[in-house]
Structure 1
C-alpha cells in the first residue's frame, strides 16, 4: 500500500528526516509517535504528497508519486488521500454539509450524488441533525467528526491524521479513536496517524517510533 525508501528531508541547514524506510500494509491502522521535532508531521506530509523529499522513493498503491507532475499529484491526492487535522480546518462560512462536500466539488463530482453521499456520511457520524450548522455552532467533537466525513467523501485509500484528537476532551478522544476502527471495518481505509496520545497509539495495529529523523 505505502512504500517509503531512504527518505531524506531538510529545511535549510536542519535535516529533519535522515533515511526513513517504511512499509504500511493495506487496511492497517498505524500510529507514528516520537518527541516534538522528531520529524513525524514532515513524514506524514511527504506521504500525503504535500512535501517532496530531498531524496528517496514514495510509492502509494503502486504509484511512484514523485514522478507525477504537479497537476497529476493534485488529482492523485484528491482521489486517493484523505486528511484529518488537529484543529479541524473547517471553513467557517460553510455548513457542515458543505464542508464535507468540498473535496468532491474539487473533483468535479455531480452535485446531487455528492450531496446524497455527504448526508450519508454525516448520518454515519451521528450528525444528521447538524448538517446545516456552521463550524461555530458545533462542539469540538462534532467538528472533528465533520472533518472525518470530509476526509472520506472521495473514497480515499488512505486517511492521514495529524494529532486528530489533540484538541478534544477525554470522552471525545475515545469516541474518535473508536470511530477509526469502525471506519476501517465499514469502508476498508488504511490509517496513518501522527499522535502524542499514548492510549491511541496502544490501540493501533502497529506503532512506529521516530527519534531524531529516524525510525527506531
Structure 2
C-alpha cells in the first residue's frame, strides 16, 4: 500500500528526516511513536502528500506521487487519502452529515450519492440519530467519530491519523481505538497513526519507533536474526481491544 525509499527532509539547516525506508501493507494498522522532534508528523505529512521530501521516492497504492503535478496531486489526495487529526476540525456552521459530505462534493460525487454514503458511515459509527446535529451539539467522542466518517467518505486507500485520541477521555479513547480495528476488519482500511498513546501503540499490528529523524530498529525475538525495520513486510500478530 505504501512504499517509502530513502526519504529525506530538511527545514533550513535542520535535517528532520534522514533517509527513511518503510513499507506498509494494505490492511495494516501501524503506529508511529517517538519523542517530540523525532520527525513523526513530518513523515506523516509527506505520506499524506501535504509536504514534499527533499529526496527519495514514495509510492501509494501503486502511484508514484512525486511524479504528479499539483492538480493531479490534490485530486489523488482527495480520493486516496483520509485525514484524522487530534482536534476534529469540523466546520461549525454545518451539520454532522454535511461535514462528512464535503470531501465527496470535492471529488465530484452527486448530492444524493454523497448523502447516502455519509448516512451509511454515520450508521456504522452509531451516529445516525445525530446526522442533523451541528458540532456544538455533539460530545467530544461523537465529533471525532464524525471526523473519521468524513475521512472515509471517498473510500480512501489509507487513513492517516495524527494524535487522533489525544483530546479524548479514557472511555472515548478506547471506543475510537476499537473503531479503527472495526474499520480495518470490515472495510479493509489501512491506518497509519502518529501517537504518544502507548495503549494505542501496543494494540496496533506494528509499532514503528522514530528517533532523531530515523527509524529505530524494532525489538527482535531472541532466537531470530536481527534485520532492518524497512525489510519487515509482515504484520505482527494482531491484538484486539
Task: Return the TM-score normalized by structure 1.
Answer: 0.99
Distance 1:108 1:25 in 2: 28
Matched residue, 1:196? 196
Post-superposition CA distance 1:4-52 (Å, at most 9, x none) = 0111111112111111000001101100000011110100000000000
Query: 1:84 and 2:77 equivalent?
Result: no
Consecutive unaligned residues in structure 2, runs of 5 or more: 217-241
Post-superposition shift, 1:117? 1.0
Q: Give the RMSD, CA atoms, in angstroms.
A: 0.6
Consecutive unaligned residues in structure 1, runs of 5 or more: none
Post-superposition CA distance 1:61-104 (Å, at most 9, x none) = 11110000000001111111100000011111111000000100
Query: 1:117 and 2:117 equivalent?
Result: yes
Q: Secondary structure at the match of 1:49?
A: coil
Matched residue, 1:151? 151
Matched residue, 2:223? none
Matches within 5 A, 1:59-78: 59-78=59-78
Q: Which ranges of 4 or more aligned residues in structure 1 deviate by more than 4 Å?
A: none
Post-superposition CA distance 1:114-139 (Å, at most 9, x none) = 10110110011011111111111111
Task: Return the TM-score normalized by structure 2.
Answer: 0.89
Matched residue, 1:213? 213
Distance 1:149 1:55 in 2: 33
Q: Secondary structure at the match of 1:146?
A: helix
- Bigger CA drift: 163-172 or 130-139? 130-139
Matched residue, 1:44? 44
Query: 1:134 and 2:169 equivalent?
Result: no
Larger Rg over CA atoms: 2
Q: Secondary structure at the match of 1:182?
A: helix
Matched residue, 1:35? 35
Distance 2:119 2:130 in 1: 10
